[in-house]
Chains A and B, each alone.
Chain A
Amino acid sequence: MPGRAEGGKLRVHRLAALLLATGFAIPAFAQEATPPELTDANVGAVMAQAVDDVIRPGYRAFHASAGALAKATAAFCKAPSEDSRKVLDAAFRQAVTDWGRIEIVRIGPVLNDNRFERILFYPDRKSTGLKQVQALLQQPDEADTDPANMAGKSVAIQGFGALEFVLYGTGSETLMSAPESFRCRYGAAVATHIETTAGQLAAAWDAPDGVQQDWKHPGPQNPVFRTGKEAMTALLGILVHGAEAVRDQRIETFYRNGGTARPKSAVFWRSGNTWTSIDANFEGLQTLFDKSGIAEFVDPGHTSLSGNVDFVLTALRNVVRTADPDIEKAVTTPAEQQKIAFLLVNTRDLIVSLNGDFGGAIGLGAGFSFADGD
């Protein structure tokens, strides 16, 4: 009788076989499909759905959960207890989830003023953040507990990475027995600054005459998208680059086929939220794909292309959710390694499919359609 690990391995194999059977892993250019005409109007409608139904709600949700995290951190610092810690852990996990859903958008206001790195400074291959946070904790300076000072500091002592070390890293066990400790109040300041940055992002996207206007109305006078095709390229680019980031910057940073596993390089390994974050990334990609209506541009005779994208995203999420949150175990157990290998193979195919078949079917050039600075 197979054990749980073997069962997991079998499930992954069956799923991989199923994906191959659907033809997903062997894409071909969709030359037969009749690409639609991309006009400012019809693309504008899709962009409006992407903005109003995905991006703006995404940033607002992140702002709300970042606010809850800041409150929970402050409450825990004031009165550490099992209960307040549970609330804090749940708030941290929720904020990681909400950020994971919207962090796929690596374009727009999040790139201004280093906001992306202020929220999550990762991968931190040389442990710059860890070193700086440890040094900060060893030499307490009350100025570091004031959120107002955070903006002028190194991004390495801001954001989720710093907060995770404070709450889950070496020495975090002292938090329960030391109300209002410097370490905890610094953590609270970090959490408050995440909330501030999240608020800036939500406000930038909610401003009626701001970036949302530019995204919804491509045209000759538009400072961001001069044509519908440019806007559509950017939207598909979020999906492609988002999938690339999951593979290259979230999974391969700690596990690469044929390479040395580095479980302590995984994002959010200390809090056990690595897969939470990665699942949220996939969920964000799937939500954008489904709710933007980008698939509506596919020729009706070739809707299986859209189905394939949805199918593989669902499959990826199903596997991620069974992965062991203990990353040390995940990279050393054969059945868990199979799951990670599955994620790597299928994110690659997801990228190829979006970039090739799907891009061609919605009227963008199949292939190298992202002229992104080369």
Chain B
Amino acid sequence: MRTAATASALLDRRAFLRMAGAAWLATLGPRAAFALARADAVFASGCMDHAGRFAIAVLSEDGTVIDRTPLPARSHGMAYSPATNHLVAFARRPGTFALVIDRGGKAAPVTIAAAEDRHFFGHGCFSPDGRLLYASENDFDANRGVIGLYDARDGYRRIGEYSTYGIGTHDLSVSDDGRLLIAANGGIETHPDFGRTKLNLDHMEPSLALIDAATGGLVQRHALPEKLRQLSTRHVDLDEKGRIWFACQYEGPRNDLPPLVGHFGKGEDLTFLSLPEETTIGLANYVGAIAVNRREGLVGLTSPNGGRFVVLDAESGRVLREEDVPDAAGIAAAPHGFAVSSYDGRFAGRRADVAWDQHIAGLAPPR
């Protein structure tokens, strides 16, 4: 049993974060807003500099850093709304803050503190009209994933939550029509009392769930079969046809060769891709990020553990390209193929004196 949880100490943490958030907001002058709004900024990613300071950077298409905006702590995933021009960075789990920036400079930045007895899991998404922000969160006392709903028109006030119908929720996405939320329930139990320690690797419960965005009702849920119960379903992206591509991290024996990527749609079973053995080995049983380039019909995968970047044909599932990228971190669709970043500072082929974090957000409608 592990019902012990947070209350007072985390309340303090939230108060602390409000202060940190306020200090952070004070650092954002007109210059930062201007830089964030620059038209040539097409990517955003979390990063850490040589002194251990965290920031969000915006970059041009060729990987040139246009500007960095300091963050009070390490972020993880981000979401961007083309409708409102708002960019949000979520704290890395078990983080308790999210920061929203209006790239148009019309509204002041907003710091969202996690609700009592909840922490952010590091990902989220906007509704297509930008009015709602959905955040993947942990109800850690009950050990269940939830989706926090935040009203973008009311200072990102938390207006409710839905269940994700799973545990260890990580990535969260939304269908193009805004009707379905897609939750990647990694199946791994964590609790802020134990930091990032994975508490249930011997009885994981990974699943993928489609949730009605209007009601929070469960539309469809795929628990992974028993033989794949240590396959953590962690990241998702959607292709042109609305198919949901998912990427996994395997917690079982390192010398197993499990399927690491697959897709499904509404009313469909999961389809796992049967990648060539050398591709699976190259991905080191750990896909850190996935992105779909819709225009070119490509699916890109990165693995920091394997130091590998893989491109698949979305139609056939065939491997089109494999490349060694040591410490491969984030991936996002680019005009041609993908932009890939690395922990050691490379981004789309350029090098910066920062470590890039695990995800890249595209600052444009899906390609």
Tell me which residues across on chain A come within 8 A of B195, comparing CB atoms.
241, 244-245, 248-249
Residue from B6, B232, B256, B305 with most neighbouring chain A CB atoms (10 Å): B305
B94 to chain A, nearest CB (A): 10
Q: Which residue of B lies closest to A220 (CB)?
A: B255
* B7 in contact with A125 (CB, 8 Å): yes
Interface residues on B, range: 35 or more
Q: For the complex formed, measure the closest distance between the CB of A35 and the CB atoms of chain B, giving whole angstroms.
A: 10
Q: Within B305-333, which residues are at the interface with A (CB < 8 Å)?
A: 305, 326-327, 329
Q: Which of A89-97, A224-232, A280-288, A292-300 participates in binding chain B?
A: A224-232
By beta carbon, the residue of chain B nearest A233 is B305
Distance of A196 Cα from B256 Cα, bound (Å): 32
- A4-29 vs B: 1/0 string, CB under 8 Å? 00000000000000000000001111
A259 and B50 contact, CB distance less than 8 A: no
What residue of chain B has the Cβ atom nearest to residue A128's Cβ? B4
A123 to chain B, nearest CB (A): 5
Assess whether B286 is interfacial by the CB under 8 Å rule.
yes
Distance, CA A373 to CA B251, complexed state (A): 9
- Contact string, B195-210, partner A, CB cutoff 8 A, digits 1/0? 1111101100000000
Cβ of A333 within 8 Å of any chain B Cβ, yes or no, is no
Contacts of A155 in B (CB 8 A): 1-2
Q: Is the CB of A259 within 8 A of B15?
A: yes
Distance between Cα atoms of A366 and B249 in the complex (Å):
22
Which residues of chain A come closer than 8 Å to B199, judged between CB atoms?
111, 114
Q: Which residues of A contact B198 (CB under 8 A)?
A: 111, 373
Using known A-B contacts A241-B195, A244-B195, determine if residue A121 contacts B4 with beta carbons closer than 8 Å.
Answer: yes
Report whether B193 and A249 are in contact in the complex, using a CB–CB cutoff of 8 Å: yes
Contacts of B304 in A (CB 8 A): 365, 368, 371
A-B CB contact pairs (8 Å), 27 listed: A28-B50, A111-B197, A112-B202, A116-B194, A117-B2, A117-B194, A122-B193, A123-B9, A125-B5, A126-B7, A128-B1, A220-B255, A223-B255, A241-B196, A245-B195, A258-B16, A265-B9, A352-B51, A366-B355, A367-B327, A368-B343, A368-B357, A368-B358, A369-B327, A369-B343, A371-B304, A373-B249
User: Which 10 pairs from chain A and chain B are nearest by CB?
Assistant: A367-B355, A223-B253, A365-B327, A352-B52, A128-B4, A365-B343, A259-B12, A371-B304, A367-B343, A154-B1
Residues on B facing A (Cβ under 8 Å): 1-10, 12-13, 15-16, 19, 48, 50-52, 76, 92-93, 122, 170, 186, 188, 193-199, 201-202, 232, 234, 249, 253-256, 284, 286, 288, 304-305, 326-327, 329, 342-345, 353-358
